[in-house]
Amino acid sequence: MKESLGKYRKYEIATYIIMAVGVILFMLTPLLIRWFGFDSDVFGLLIFLIGLGMFVVGIIIKFIMSKVRGQRQPK
């Protein structure tokens, strides 16, 4: 059981990193437009939303797995 909790914790950390990359890319849009002519606001927002979606799916799966483990009958 401890192994499965570690797996979910790694997944949550990965989603936080993905969301942080999206936010940073979104916030750097004015500088990237000025220096390189690259508009990154759509990409940053899309990456953030993908990370947020992954986080929500992970929370739902963790909730479902905890319900399934709680319903097991003792032998």
What is the Rg, in whole angstroms, of the alpha carbon atoms belonging to the chain? 18
Does residue 75 lie within any of the structural domains? no
At residue 47's C-alpha, the angle toward residues 53 and 36, to 5°, is: 170
- Whether 74 is covered by a domain: the verdict is no
Residue-wise pLDDT for 25-67, tens only, equals: 999 999 988 998 888 889 999 999 999 999 999 999 888 888 8
Q: Is residue 73 assigned to a domain?
A: no
The domain tally of the chain equals 1
Q: Are 19 and 51 in contact (CB under 8 A)?
A: yes
Domain range for 15: 2-68
In which region does residue 6 sit, left (phi positive, over 0), alpha (psi from -120 to 50) or beta (all else)? alpha
The pLDDT score that the predictor gives to residue 9 is 84
Does residue 69 carry a pLDDT above 90?
A: no
